[in-house]
Amino acid sequence: MEIDGNAVLAKALRDQGIEYVFGIIGIPVVELSMAMQAEGLKYVGMRNEQAACYAAQAIGYLTGKPGVCLVVSGPGLLHVTGGMANAQVNCWPLLVIGGATSQDHEGIGGFQECPQVELSRPYCKYAARPPSVSLIPMHVEKAIRLACYGRPGAAYLDFPGNLLTAKIAEESAPLQYTHPIPPVPFPDPAMVTNAAKLLISAKRPLVIIGKGAAYARSELQVRQLIHQTNLPFLPTPMGKGVVPDLDPQCIAPARTLALQKADVVLLLGARLNWILHFGRPPRYSSDVKVIQVDVNPEEMHNSVLSTVAVQSHIVPFTEQLIDALAKERFRLDNNTDWWKDLRAKCEKNRKVVEEMALNVEPPLNYYAVFHHLQQYIPQDAIIVSEGANTMDIGRTLLHNKLARHRLDAGTFGTMGVGPGFAIAAALFCRDHFPGKKVICVEGDSAFGFSGMELETMVRYQLPIVIVIVNNGGIYGGFDKQTYDDIRSGGDLTQVTPASALTHETRYENMLNMFGMTGCFVRTIPQLRDAVKNCLTATDRPHVINVAISPQADRKPQDFKWLTESKL
């Protein structure tokens, strides 16, 4: 009996433990999608290749095993490169499988002919085209291994149509080993000792918990370290929940002060990139000492010269650091000037935010919406968030109690990720944590990138609650009168501000296409009732469209959120 490349590829994916596939089919991968389902893989048909890629990488982050993104040749692969780049920069495991022009049509203008391996290579750790059906399992194993090992990232495999339809005898189809789980690099004990000495000698120590600590499943060890030592900590956006945001040692409201004044920073699975202002003055002290812990040695000393640089998985490093500090009976005193300053700054900033949050007169502001939304959603919900102010302000007010329960635009700052991430999170919850809720909080501009994935959510009966914070613009919009006045004369392409979107677009009415209804909200009681009703659904998405003031803004900042270039 003979089997074709489609069957060999599908079986190879299953043998390597792949569970989820997201994609959009067409020539030449239609039969491949069917072969995948026949092998027991879960296939989710999406509406846009980028969204499919976002979903595949999010499932990789949540499970530790790459999701697969399946796309057609040419434009399909080109559309997905944004998602590949996002996974690579975000360090999430992903495997993209692209159909390609049959090899005998290459060079003579084949349908959707495109140099796909070469185009993909800058955006991934491994890119290849298996040269024969018999070598497909080998390349699948390598692609998945490289996507997972070391610092996770993307891999790409290219499959011409003639390779997928080529046949070999079933009994001669090669069996490929399944690689072990990624190896765990342990720290140099001398480096752990140096790190402990530096923390003990510090007057103003600070722990920064990054997304890498969340991916490493290190929450038990990191929580023990924080609580045993009484060190203040600051989470990065997707490091939230490794230690609960509402832990008394979380000093996120005093972020600027903490970064500026810390004399020793312990960096656990975070990079000194733009999110952390590169570790440089004026956002940090000029003489700050950095203890950098990362699984990737190439990350060491990036941007600044770290005092102690440790290549290690977060779990063994933290376990050894706990022991080293315990031997010295180290615990930061609550009554130090450092803790007093941090608590005072936290309290001051909380009061400013609370005043804005308690201003519930319509039109609402961001702080009022997020403060009350936090009260109505489950504490263990997975929160997906994207947008400009929507994401940034929401990060401070929508708290995470558990690790890997916040998904946002991430290191690459990619817009359009929300619906794809939410779909992946909802499938993950359905299969592993039934009943857990997924709350997708979107700016109105961000929602526009991938809004048609709402149909995907309906089709697969995913109970995602989408909350659109609608200010009618990018960063900010205009009230209706001003909007109409601006556009009252002249060429609309000349007089419509680049930041403007249509005033109070009724996004919730998209559900009408499926015989469902959404919620339009102007007041906090309406928001409360809408959230309460939406959380009861178990087999359908909901859309809550919250109209806020087009001029709503974030509270005054000591520094701009993005460090500006000095050149």
pLDDT in tens, 167-214: 999 988 888 999 999 999 999 999 999 999 999 999 999 999 999 999
Q: Estimate to the nearest angstrom the gap between the alpha carbon of 527 and the chain centroid.
A: 26
**338 & 420 share domain:** no
Q: How confident is the model at residue 463 (pLDDT cuts 50, 70, 90)?
A: very high
Backbone phi, then psi, for 52, in 5-degree steps? Answer: -60, -40
What is the mean predicted confidence (pLDDT) over 410-418?
Answer: 95
**Which residue type, as a one-letter code, is found at position 162?**
N
**381-404 average pLDDT score:** 96
Distances 220 to 91, 174, 186, 249, 506 between C-alpha atoms, Å: 22, 41, 17, 16, 44
Can you give the residue range of the structural domain that contains 518?
359-547
The reply to whether 202 falls in a domain is: yes
Average pLDDT, integer, range 487-495:
89
325 and 268 within one domain: yes
Query: Quick one: 39 exposed, middle or buried, by C-beta within 10 A (0-12, 13-18, 19+)?
Result: middle
Looking at the fold, whether 374 and 430 belong to one and the same domain comes out as yes
User: Is 396 inside a domain boundary?
Assistant: yes
Q: 393 with 259, same domain?
A: no
Q: What is the CATH number of the domain that holds 105?
A: 3.40.50.970
In a domain, 85, yes or no: yes
Residue 564: inside a domain, yes or no? no
Residues 444 and 408 reside in one and the same domain: yes
Among candidate residues 344, 378, 396, the one where a domain is terminated: 344
Report if residue 239 sits inside a domain: yes
My answer on whether 211 and 141 are in the same domain is no
Query: pTM for the full model?
Result: 0.97
Residue-wise pLDDT tens digits, 68-95: 999 999 999 999 999 999 999 999 999 9
Closest CA to 529 of 544, 516, 515, 514: 544
Which whole number is the average pLDDT over 453-475? 97
Query: Of the candidates 521, 45, 47, 396, which has an alpha carbon nearest to the alpha carbon of residue 408?
Result: 396
Q: Are residues 391 and 505 in the same domain?
A: yes
Cα separation, 46 vs 458, whole angstroms: 11
Other C-beta atoms lying within 10 Å of the C-beta of residue 120: 25
pLDDT digit string (tens) for 45-75? 999 999 999 999 999 999 999 999 999 999 9
Same domain (yes/no): 228, 88: no
Q: Distance (Å, rounded) from C-alpha 563 to C-alpha 567?
A: 12
Per residue in 254-300, pLDDT (tens digit) is: 999 999 999 999 999 999 999 999 999 999 999 999 999 999 999 99
Whether 182 maps to a domain, the answer reads no
Encode pLDDT of 98-114 as tens digits.
999 999 999 999 999 99
Shared domain for 111 and 222, answered yes or no, is no
Tell me how many domains the chain contains: 3
Give the pLDDT band of residue 560 (cuts 50, 70, 90): confident
- How far is Cα 310 from Cα 188, in angstroms, rounded to an integer? 7
In a domain, 440, yes or no: yes
Q: Could you tell me if residue 300 is inside a domain?
A: yes
Which residue among 140, 172, 204 closes a domain?
172
562: which 2 tokens? Answer: 């993005």
Residue that finishes a domain, picked among 344, 369, 391: 344
Element (H, E) at 440: strand 438-443
State the maximum Cα–Cα separation within the chain, in Å, rounded to a whole number.
77
Q: Quick one: 7 and 155 in the same domain?
A: yes
Same domain, 258 and 381: no
Both 307 and 277 in one domain: the answer is yes
Helices 75-90 and 49-63, axial angle in degrees (round to 10):
30
CB 154 within 8 A of CB 119: no
Strands (E), 38-123: 42-45, 67-71, 94-100
Condensed to tens digits (0 to 9), the pLDDT of residues 116-131 reads: 999 999 999 999 999 9
Under 8 Å CB-to-CB from 423, ≥6 apart: which residues? 22, 44, 46, 51, 55, 453, 456, 457, 460, 462, 464
Q: Is the pLDDT of residue 559 over 80?
A: no
What pLDDT shows up at residue 562?
79
Q: What is the pLDDT of residue 154?
A: 98
CATH code where residue 325 lies: 3.40.50.1220
